[in-house]
Copies of this chain bind each other. A is one copy, B any other.
Amino acid sequence: MQVFFSEDHRLHFPQAELSGGQFVTPYERPSRVEYILRQLRERGFDQPADPGPCDMAPIRGLMDPGFLRFLETGWDEWIAAGMKGEMISATNPVRRTQMAREPRNIDGKLGYYCLAQETAITAGTWRAAQSSAASAQAAQRAVAEGAGAAFALCRPPGHHATADMFGGYCFLNNAAIVAQMFRDGGADRVAILDIDFHHGNGTQDIFYERGDVLFASIHGAPEDAFPYFLGYADETGAGAGEGANLNLPLLPGAGWDQWGSALDTAIARIRDFGPQALVVSLGVDAFKDDPISFFKLESGDFTRAGAAIARLNLPTVFCMEGGYAIEAVGINTVNVLEGFLNG
């Protein structure tokens, strides 16, 4: 399986994450990918290929122009405004401010384009986010050209980002970008399977009113887990997308019995949908020792998950998402990939 990875992910390394009313060292940190690279190497995967530059055209087609402009120029505006810290939002368009317009002030603009305040933007964030999307794009191109599957070792992750908001460590929605590229390349129907512990609110939001992209997600129940305000089972899509959104929230403590059964449900729905390509939002924070999650998967369960996904027998792009039990992130991620290859 081809692997795509850019060293430019290092350009995004905030010092601070707002958590429990304090600033902590971000859980989503550069060292996460080192553990994945090492496992790939030790287990005989090809050397990761650099993806080359990010192709902005398919991103511009999917994302809000103001949001992209903000990601590109926000840091400079922030510094020019005399701000001393990293870009951490302190205000948002909340309930009943739905007609909100983009403010001129960078502090307001930051809030306008932010969906959760744990995530800081720094000088290198935009370039890192582009390099992450570039890996996803390279993986898509490899699969579109006939590779059965490819792994985009994306960092920062993407599935929380909407077309117009960053947050949850995500800036550009890599999985959504890949799905759209499959559509643009001629696939009539594409499925996205999100097995990250957290609900892929961004991916859901982007395709919620579309019937051509199925989104299926297994995640911590929103009553109990970030991102809290989306991810309920009754969110089934709207308009042309009615029925093309499947949320499978699970309660704290869920292990393989429940998780694997939810995975079977998701896979059956994907099979019924009849897609020509599959995108997997590959987070491994469903692991039992993940510090910010509450599922109980063992490392071996990730192998089983990969094997189950393989039985869909679809051209498949894996996009790396979350996973914060740092030393296990590599093992669990590569378990999914090996399970898929051997499945």
In the complex, A124 has a CB within 8 A of chain B: no
CB-CB under 8 A from A98, the residues of chain B are 95, 98
Contact of A85 among B20, B104, B230 (CB under 8 A): B20
Which of A110-118, A184-192, A311-319 lies at the binding interface? A110-118
CB-CB under 8 A from A94, the residues of chain B are 92-94, 114-115, 165, 229
Using C-beta atoms within 8 Å of the partner chain, give the interface range for chain A. Answer: 35 or more
Which of A42-50, A217-225, A254-262 lies at the binding interface? A217-225
Q: Digit string of A86-120 for contact with B (CB within 8 Å is 1, else 0)?
A: 11111111111110110111011001101111101
Q: Are A227 and B91 in contact (CB under 8 A)?
A: yes
Q: Are A95 and B223 in contact (CB under 8 A)?
A: no
CB-CB under 8 A from A5, the residues of chain B are none
Say how many copies of this protein the assembly contains: 2
Q: Digit string of A154-171 for contact with B (CB within 8 Å is 1, else 0)?
A: 000000001011010000
Q: Is the interface of A mostly helix, strand, loop or mixed?
A: loop
Q: Are B224 and A85 in contact (CB under 8 A)?
A: no
CB-CB under 8 A from A120, the residues of chain B are 21
Contact of A117 among B23, B117, B205, B227 (CB under 8 A): B117
CB-CB under 8 A from A18, the residues of chain B are 18, 88, 90, 117
CB distance from A96 to the nearest CB of B (A): 6
Chain A residues within 8 Å of B, Cβ to Cβ: 16, 18-23, 78, 82-98, 100-101, 103-105, 107-108, 111-112, 114-118, 120, 162, 164-165, 167, 201, 205, 222-230, 232
